[in-house]
Amino acid sequence: MKANTWAGRNKVEVRDVPDPKILNNRDAIVRITSTAICGSDLHLVDGYVPTMQDGDVLGHEFMGEVTEVGSGVDQARLRVGDRVVVPFPIACGACAACAAELYSCCENTNPNAGIAEKMFGHPVAGIFGYSHLTGGFAGGQAQYARVPFADVGPLKIESDLTDEQVLFLSDILPTGYMGAEMCDIQPTDVVAVWGAGPVGQFAMDSARVLGAAKVIAIDKEPYRLQMAEQAGHTPVNFDEVDVRSRLLELTGGRGPDKCIDAVGMEATHGSAHIAAYDRVKQAVRSETDRPHALRQAIMSCRSGGVVSVIGVYGGLLDKFPAGAWMNRSLTLRTGQCHVQRYMKPLLERIERGEIDPTRIITHTLPLNEAEHGFEMFKNKQDNCEKVVLKP
Amino acid sequence: MELTATTTIRKPAPQVYAFWRDLENLPTFMAHLEQVRTTGERTSHWTADAPFGKDVGWDAEILEEVPGEKIAWRSTGNADVPNAGTVRFVPAPDGVSTEVHVVLVYDIPGGTIGKAVAKYFGEEPHQQLDDDLRRLKQVLETGEVVRSDGAPWGKRARKEFPQRPAQPLSDAELAKGADA
């Protein structure tokens, strides 16, 4: 089959690889009908996540049709022919983390748990196409994928919604939603979202659905801010204005009640010297993450507010404003999304028309053109917001 | 050399105890074991996997067993690597799970076998036992050892690092299996 693979830093390549087979009893094989490029794939391609290997199949946002199930798959839950969206964290459904609905912290699905434990203190779940640190599972930017614990995670789509309407239930819609949910949003809240990429857009939509009074989008790409504005959110361009001053102005000097970091480890910055400082530290690997959005979110948030982090961080960061966090009673909440927890309720919101996930799709390409898709997305060419690939 | 490790398994203590007490189950999760054969009510014959040193086998006996709580054993006779172990099963505070506490003691000799054993355990000997218990947890909680494309052969995972790429296995690789 064809699959998009990691071919070294800054390089992806569509290659012929073997078709996946059942390896564990509860595996299913899925013929992929739609898959997408995620912002976090860029962290892998940019070389900021360790343990990538040449030939790793990328992709953790995919859906398709079940073509084969292992002997241990509960047939009451999943059968050949079912149309499914596959959540990016692989979860066993049986451990204490899964019992607590902390699916991305599943204790059983990462065969390389010993390595993850060294990096993170405790291991994390396996993730499709997302380095060997998270298990070494082949990803879904391919024609087929093997899906372990297929009767736990995958969500069956039984209505006639299009792929484009449900594909993002695999990651970015639940991720954005969890970012907003962690904010415990009140009707009087102003919510500021750093990053108007796909996850940021969905965090904004979710904050509105959860009842926020005002939602602010912070980015520097005019087309991304325009997309947010068209969806009813208030744009702030950090290339044009000082973010903190603008946020104070928009909130009568209070600061946003809730702040969401939908940027993560590769933030860019309006101030050249601070950006350069982090870039250099990251380049010489004395800091793995460039945490500018997180710092600014903490400094901007009103006292007693919540800073919710859904942008991906991989390791260590520098100049964390612990003083602001502690002295101003801020709550910091975060997590890789526990996708399985949100898929069904969000599917219902899509069915009711409360959220339209298709609004962020700017490009649809054949899988063969994955390399071009990565390039456009990474370099923000052609107003690229979200690339869907068709295998 | 003394190794200790612990894990918590979301199954009741009698079930975890029973799985371990059937010593023939140990090779499903303990990387260094090829086979354990029961030879009597309290006696057994253990065979090590190749990396531990080829054709290494020994007899063992259970010294103490408290159903649902504790098993202690040791090698007997002229074992190449005299060893002993204790495992305790303690109900976890959640009322559902069981804490498994393991202590293994190896009397590592000089010579070829001693070198093979030392090489096998490497610089972080306890990592091996930690990984063993992770697989025990996988087997008891999910039914089998979890495989990925990068680490397709279950208990050999750690030895395979850097791993094969995270892409599906070819028919030839699958046919060769873990011996590849």
Bridge partners (DSSP) of residue B75 are B60
The alpha-carbon gap from A336 to the nearest alpha carbon of chain B, in Å, equals: 20
No. of H helices and E strands in chain A? Answer: 13, 17
User: Given its phi and psi angles, is residue B77 left (phi above 0), alpha (psi -120 to 50 degrees) or beta?
Assistant: left
The alpha-carbon gap from B130 to the nearest alpha carbon of chain A, in Å, equals: 8
Give mean pLDDT, residues A318-324.
91
User: In this predicted structure, what is the pLDDT of residue A264?
Assistant: 87
Phi, psi of B51 (to 5 degrees): -60, -25
CA dist B157 and B151 (Å) reads 5
Q: In the sheet where A258-261 sits, what is the strand order?
A: A234-237, A214-219, A190-194, A258-261, A306-309, A331-334
Phi, psi of A388 (to 5 degrees): -105, 135
Nearest to A193 by CA among A242, A227, A233: A233
Domain ranges of chain B: 2-143, 147-180
How far is C-alpha A197 from the geometric centre of its chain's CA atoms? 10
Whether the predicted pLDDT of B54 surpasses 60: yes
User: In this predicted structure, what is the pLDDT of residue B120?
Assistant: 78
**Which residues of chain B neighbour A26 with C-beta distances below 8 Å?**
142-143
Whether the predicted pLDDT of B165 surpasses 80: yes
Give mean pLDDT, residues A154-181.
98
At A50, the pLDDT band (50, 70, 90 cuts) reads confident
At B128, the pLDDT band (50, 70, 90 cuts) reads confident
* More reliable by pLDDT, B91 or B50: B91
User: In this predicted structure, what is the pLDDT of residue A289?
Assistant: 66
Nearest to A257 by CA among A321, A187, A209, A205: A187
Which of A109, A114, A138 lies nearest to residue B167, judging by beta carbons?
A: A138
User: In this predicted structure, what is the pLDDT of residue A276?
Assistant: 67
User: In this predicted structure, what is the pLDDT of residue A299?
Assistant: 96
* More reliable by pLDDT, A305 or B51: A305
Q: What is the pLDDT of residues B141-160, one digit of tens each?
A: 999 999 999 999 877 655 55
The alpha-carbon gap from A74 to the nearest alpha carbon of chain B, in Å, equals: 13
CA dist B158 and B130 (Å) reads 11
Q: What is the pLDDT of residues A257-306, one digit of tens each?
A: 999 999 988 777 656 666 666 676 666 666 666 778 999 999 999 999 99
Cβ distance A25 to B151 less than 8 Å, yes or no, reads no
**Which residues of chain A neighbour B135 with C-beta distances below 8 Å?**
none
Whether the predicted pLDDT of B50 surpasses 70: no
Mutate to test the interface with A, among B96, B146, B176 (most CBs of A within 10 A): B146
Comparing A11-20, A99-108, B153-162, the range with the smallest average pLDDT is B153-162
> Within 13 Å of residue A120, how many CA atoms lie on the same side as its CB?
19
Q: Please answer whether residues A66 and A84 qualify as being in contact, where contact means their C-beta atoms are separated by less than 8 angstroms.
A: yes
* Average pLDDT of chain A to the nearest whole number: 94
Nearest to A330 by CA among A289, A298, A374, A367: A298
CA dist B7 and B20 (Å) reads 14
Q: What is the pLDDT of residues A179-232, one digit of tens each?
A: 999 999 999 999 999 999 999 999 999 999 999 999 999 999 999 999 999 999
Give mean pLDDT, residues A4-25.
97
Identity at B4, one-letter amino acid code: T
Phi, psi of B140 (to 5 degrees): -75, -35
The correct answer on CATH 3.30.530.20 for the domain covering B2-143 is yes
Nearest to A325 by CA among A301, A308, A293, A309: A301
Comparing A98-107, A146-155, A224-233, B47-56, the range with the smallest average pLDDT is B47-56
ipTM comes to: 0.93
Give mean pLDDT, residues A144-160.
97
No. of H helices and E strands in chain B? Answer: 4, 7
Q: What is the pLDDT of residues A61-81, one digit of tens each?
A: 999 999 999 999 999 999 999
User: In this predicted structure, what is the pLDDT of residue A160?
Assistant: 95
User: In this predicted structure, what is the pLDDT of residue A274?
Assistant: 64
User: In this predicted structure, what is the pLDDT of residue B126?
Assistant: 85
The alpha-carbon gap from B148 to the nearest alpha carbon of chain A, in Å, equals: 5
What does the angle CA A307 – CA A220 – CA A255 come to, to the nearest 5 degrees? 35
Residue B57 host element (H or E): strand B57-66
Q: What structural domains does chain A harbor?
A: 2-171+337-390 (3.90.180.10), 173-334 (3.40.50.720)
Cβ distance B146 to A139 less than 8 Å, yes or no, reads no
CA dist A143 and B19 (Å) reads 40
* More reliable by pLDDT, A128 or A315: A128
Residue A324, class by beta-carbon neighbours within 10 Å (0-12 exposed, 13-18 middle, 19+ buried)? middle
Whether the predicted pLDDT of A339 surpasses 70: yes
Give mean pLDDT, residues B89-99.
97
Whether the predicted pLDDT of A107 surpasses 90: yes
Residue A146 host element (H or E): strand A144-147
Nearest to B21 by CA among B63, B65, B84, B74: B65
User: In this predicted structure, what is the pLDDT of residue A77?
Assistant: 97
User: In this predicted structure, what is the pLDDT of residue A316?
Assistant: 82
Question: Does a cis peptide bond (omega within 30 degrees of 0) precede residue A187?
Answer: no
